[in-house]
Amino acid sequence: MAGVAGVNDFQWCFSQVKGAIDEDVAEADIISTVEFNHSGELLATGDKGGRVVIFQHEQECKNRPNLRGEYNVYSTFQSHEPEFDYLKSLEIEEKINKIRWLPQQNSAHFLLSTNDKTIKLWKIGERDKRAEGYNLKDEDGRLRDPFRITSLRVPVLMPMDLMVEASPRRVFANAHTYHINSISVNSDHQTYLSADDLRINLWHLEITDRSFNIVDIKPANMEELTEVITAAECHPNQCNVFVYSSSKGTIRLCDMRTAALCDSHTKFFEEPEDPSSRSFFSEIISSISDVKFSHSGRYMMTRDYLSVKVWDLNMENRPVETYQVHEYLRSKLCSLYENDCIFDKFECCWNGSDSAIMTGSYNNFFRMFDRNTRKDITLEASRESSKPRATLKPRKVSTGGKRKKDEISVDSLDFNKKILHTAWHPKENVIAVAATNNLYIFQDKIN
């Protein structure tokens, strides 16, 4: 991978788009999470209809050595169904909030998928052989008349068309009173954490009827509630460390060795507020929507409404880097509050070498920042720029004054086209961008 090249040195090209082209988007088809597995071979998406679709990277085509292989559908299954909470007379959405892959340990693949209340462990396995020549039953499965069996034979494994089966292996339910916003597999490969608005639970992958509550910020009087948990993640290589972010723009790092209940943090990350920019919306836009450790484990990245911040775990009082995603929206906060867009939860992701970060914006724009060169680029996921191997053209939003050609003005932005979920291949320059019901895959042109 090009570690030295900056984001502007990449030539991002359109590779594929998955999903219907219709203008009328069915609510159930809206993609709600995107995640590559640890090798990058598989790409999973979850949608509001509770379905999981897994794409597999095909081997490179020999005819076109410049092109990386494509991602094709590998498996589709219904992970969660809508439920009804009879006690509260409320529906429980089947929307998949998060998918997290387990590290691969054998030929099968495992992933955790969660909706608001229940986490499920799915096994995705391949079957390409079938046993033939049973003694007691026919090829179509009918039982043979035992009196007509005159000889014994050993069943033989015969090749068959590849079948990919997804089966639920564990269901982790009834542990969350509030809506689950995060799940994160621990580096010990045995435990994982799940976080809702007020609590974080630690599970063992094998045990479904119990979980440890390790963080509980529910106040004794719900009246006093002013802060909720917005995201949580396990450290990539220290299995005793995890972080969780809050709606007040703070991040707490906890060490599970210190106490059974990690209500008191080990580290507390908060940037002091700039008093000159204080407004009624300051708290809302400081609410952190996503937190991600770097692959190295030395940094973490947080996404709030207008910016992405990179924190050094050794420095709590301010981030080491801050990137403005769409600062031009700062003057529109009241309108965005009115139409609820201010509550949109954008995610962010690192590239494999931690040299670049990516996050989404409105109008189907997404942004990439190079940490070394400090350059940034805005790209668009749209059908118009979806010609095979077409290089994506950088986009620009004009921030007032004269609008140059090819620039788009802030008032023309489509706030219904939001890119909340993006994913970066762990090893290569391949990115997946979810735009409502479409999944775009872009690749860097191999030189």
Partner 1 sequence: MRYSYQRRTCAIARAKMFPKGTKRKFSDSREEPVAGGEDVNQSSLAAVRMLSSYSLQRQSLLDMSLIKLQLCHMLVEPNLCRSVLIANTVRQIQEEMTQDGTWQIMTQALSAANAAAQCSADRLVATEVLCRQTEAAQGEQVPKPFPVVGSEGCPAEEVLEEEEEAAAAEVGMTMSTVSPQAPTSYLPGTFGMDPCWEEEETGEDDDDDDEEEEEDSEECGSGSEGEERERDSLVEDTRTAEQVFGTFEIKNPAPSPDPALEELFSDVDASYYDLDTVLTGMQSVPKMGPYDLLESLSSHGPSPLSSSTSCRSDLNELDHIMEIIVGS
Please give the structure tokens belonging to residue 218.
């529910």
Asked whether position 228 contacts partner 1 by CB under 8 A, the answer is yes
Q: Which stretch binds partner 1 (CB under 8 A): 5-13, 32-40, 152-160, 220-228?
A: 220-228
Asked whether position 399 contacts partner 1 by CB under 8 A, the answer is no
Size of interface with partner 1, in residues (CB under 8 A): 41
- Measuring CA to CA, which residue among 103, 105, 106, 113 is closest to residue 75? 113
Roughly how many angstroms between the first and final C-alpha of the chain, as a whole number?
11
Asked whether position 343 contacts partner 1 by CB under 8 A, the answer is yes
Asked whether position 272 contacts partner 1 by CB under 8 A, the answer is no
The only residue of 276, 314, 317, 447 in contact with partner 1, by rule CB under 8 A: 276
The only residue of 11, 39, 247, 398 in contact with partner 1, by rule CB under 8 A: 247
CA distances from 29 to 39, 53, 344, 434 (A): 26, 11, 18, 11
CB of 104 vs partner 1, minimal distance in Å: 34
The only residue of 78, 190, 226, 409 in contact with partner 1, by rule CB under 8 A: 226
3-state SS, residue 7: helix
Instruction: Measure the CA–CA gap between 378 and 382, rounded to whole angstroms.
Output: 13
Instruction: Find the helix or strand (DSSP H, E) in which 284 lies.
Output: helix 282-286
Instruction: Find the helix or strand (DSSP H, E) in which 246 lies.
Output: strand 241-246
CB of 203 vs partner 1, minimal distance in Å: 19
Q: Which is nearer to partner 1, 88 or 405 (CB)?
A: 88
Label residue 289 left, alpha or beta by phi (over 0 means left) and psi (-120 to 50 means alpha): alpha
Q: Which stretch binds partner 1 (CB under 8 A): 96-104, 106-114, 257-265, 272-280?
A: 272-280
The only residue of 41, 197, 304, 376 in contact with partner 1, by rule CB under 8 A: 197
Please give the structure tokens belonging to residue 274.
């700039």
Q: Which stretch binds partner 1 (CB under 8 A): 32-40, 202-210, 227-235, 437-445?
A: 227-235
Label residue 398 left, alpha or beta by phi (over 0 means left) and psi (-120 to 50 means alpha): beta
- For tokens 């990058």, what's the residue? 40
Asked whether position 277 contacts partner 1 by CB under 8 A, the answer is yes
Asked whether position 338 contacts partner 1 by CB under 8 A, the answer is yes
Could you give the strand order of the β-sheet that contains 376-380, starting from the edge strand earlier in sequence? 348-350, 356-360, 365-370, 376-380
Residues of the shown chain interacting with partner 1 in the complex, contacts defined by CB under 8 A: 86-93, 116, 177-179, 197-198, 218, 221-228, 230, 247, 276-281, 283-284, 287, 331, 333-334, 337-338, 340, 343
